[in-house]
Amino acid sequence: MPQARYKQLVDRLADDIRTQRLRPGTRLPTHRELAAREGLGLVTATRVYAELQAMGLVSGETGRGTFVREALPSAQGSYLYGWSTERVDLTFNAPTLPEQAGLLRAALRQLAAGGDLEALLRYQPHGGRDHEREIVARHVRLRGLTVSPESVLIVSGGQHGLATTAMALLEPGDVVAVDALTYPGFKLAAEACRLELAPIPSAGHGPDLDALAALCRQRRVRAVYTMPTLHNPLGWVMSATRRRELVAIARQHDLLLIEDAAYAYLAEDAPPPLAALAPERTVYVSSFSKSVSTGLRVGFLCAPLASVPKLERAIRATTWNTPAMMTTIACGWVEDGTVERMEAEKRRDATMRQTLAADLLGGLTRIGHPASYFVWLPLPNEVRADAVTHALMLENIAVSTAEPFATSPQVPHAIRLALGSVALPALSQALQTVARVIADQTY
């Protein structure tokens, strides 16, 4: 059986199992029956089942046959392979610095000593208090964005900002162009709002803008969701020229631009945001989750003034307002320079972790940014992502496959490694294990 056809059979059966067309407990054909049905040799049929077993999708029982296993757990749109507190988590980024707990203690003491605690117990304006919006407006100047406080809305993290934008400014059935590999959280928001995602292939450091223009000529595209500064998971930073080209397409076809800047603080000297080039049609979404702490659920939107009332209604419908205490702490850290200092320290930390990954994964193809907290590993042609993730699960390491990020039917065999949630010694050991497991799968 040709190599491509053999791998296609493995992929087809794996997809049938993951989508539960073959349900847990289903008894699969015997090796001889599979060989006869598919026109392969018995040795090749045995090899197919061995690969599925290595992926953790089937189990062979002596004297009984081969059976579909119970699906591995999933959560939040990402497949979490054998998630537990004992495992090294390379699926999510929660970058922290050693002094952050002390900073929080000090902030809480300062808050307790303040004279306006009662104000924090009351309902707040949906988009944030005026002085808080002014603070955020000053903060985004660090990203090359000049906005008025009236165009700023404070939300409960970046994910809430994306969901609020989709809910307020798009309608069920609207077509949104997205990268073929994109942030899983936006996929969830789009699903909840019943939006149709149209995948755009990558073309180097950014989406294929010719493909986007062609899509807009063929269909009524309503919006583009994009991460021009530090794309997740591919780590690209779009050039200034491509940003201008994207804005030109958006203006020609009257597109809303949803600019996700969650990781933008890691990329120094990036070109101006899309929101600076096309403020009349761009919603800029970011938060303090990565630059400060994932538990500090404070984010912000910078939006066209005409969209602000709709966005405020969506905030009211979902959270009414952000928790006042969290917002007060976040804004205080912006004002006293703590956020800017943390961002600089995390850029150094991310760069160090990327250097470590380059050293320990040097023989593998890597895609990423030299100062990002994640790296994308396309796997060799003969290596299956499910087999790698299952083998790593047995080594107590959790990683993400490409599936949560994919918006097209063609899901590449690749894994994403989040580098920002574990201590450096544990990360070093885990990366060495990843390299060894992939090497073991290569033949």
What is this structure's pTM? 0.84
**Quick one: pLDDT at residue 71?**
56
Amino acid identity, position 212: L
| Range of the structural domain that residue 359 is part of | 88-93+340-441
Q: How far apart are the first and last CA of the chain?
A: 17
Question: Six-digit token pair at 431?
Answer: 């990366």
Mean pLDDT of the chain: 91
Question: Six-digit token pair at 138?
Answer: 């000053």
Query: Is residue 246 domain-shared with residue 360, that is, in the same domain?
Result: no
What is the number of domains present in the chain? 3
**Quick one: pLDDT at residue 94?**
87
Give domain status of residue 50, yes or no.
Answer: yes
- Asked if pLDDT for residue 73 goes beyond 50, the answer is no
C-alpha angle 44/47/50, rounded to 5°? 160
pLDDT > 70: percent of the chain: 95
Query: Is residue 311 domain-shared with residue 358, that is, in the same domain?
Result: no
CA atoms within 13 A on the CB side of 87: 20
Mean pLDDT of 67-82: 52
Query: Is residue 147 domain-shared with residue 186, that is, in the same domain?
Result: yes
Helix (H, G, I), strand (E, B) or coil at 37: helix
Instruction: For 287-314, write each residue's pLDDT tens digit.
Output: 999 999 988 899 999 999 999 999 999 9
Query: Is residue 224 domain-shared with residue 315, that is, in the same domain?
Result: yes
Instruction: For 323-343, write each residue's pLDDT tens digit.
Output: 999 999 999 999 999 999 999
- Compare 386 and 215 and report the one with higher pLDDT: 215
**Quick one: pLDDT at residue 4?**
59
Q: What is the b/e burial string over 369-398, where b = at least 16 CB atoms within 10 angstroms of the residue's CB?
A: bebbbbbbbbbeeebbbbbbbbbbbebebb
Query: Is residue 308 domain-shared with residue 385, that is, in the same domain?
Result: no
- The 3-state secondary structure of 333-352, one letter per residue: HHHCCHHHHHHHHHHHHHHH
Query: Is residue 328 domain-shared with residue 194, that is, in the same domain?
Result: yes
Query: Is residue 272 domain-shared with residue 393, that is, in the same domain?
Result: no
Amino acid identity, position 35: A
What lies within 8 Å, CB to CB, of 112 at 6+ separation is none
Largest CA distance in the chain: 80
Amino acid identity, position 420: G
Name which of 16-20, 133-137, 247-251, 359-363 the model is least confident about.
Answer: 16-20
**Quick one: pLDDT at residue 54?**
74
Query: Is residue 361 domain-shared with residue 273, that is, in the same domain?
Result: no
Which of 289, 315, 336 is a domain's end point? Answer: 336
Query: Is residue 209 domain-shared with residue 281, that is, in the same domain?
Result: yes
- Closest to 376 measured CA to CA, from 158, 270, 265, 230: 230
**Domain of residue 372, CATH code:** 3.90.1150.10
Instruction: For 19-69, write each residue's pLDDT tens digit.
Output: 788 887 788 898 888 888 888 888 888 888 888 887 778 877 677 788 887
Query: Is residue 64 domain-shared with residue 125, that is, in the same domain?
Result: no
Instruction: For 129-173, write each residue's pLDDT tens digit.
Output: 999 999 999 999 999 999 999 999 999 999 999 999 999 999 999
Amino acid identity, position 298: V
Instruction: For 261-287, write each residue's pLDDT tens digit.
Output: 999 999 999 999 999 999 999 999 999
Give domain status of residue 422, yes or no.
Answer: yes
**Quick one: pLDDT at residue 45?**
83
**Quick one: pLDDT at residue 156?**
97
Query: Is residue 329 domain-shared with residue 344, that is, in the same domain?
Result: no
**Quick one: pLDDT at residue 443?**
65
- Asked if pLDDT for residue 177 goes beyond 90, the answer is yes
Which of 320, 336, 352 is a domain's end point? Answer: 336
**Domain of residue 288, CATH code:** 3.40.640.10
Give domain status of residue 239, yes or no.
Answer: yes
Instruction: For 181-230, write each residue's pLDDT tens digit.
Output: 999 999 999 999 999 999 999 998 899 999 999 999 999 999 999 999 99
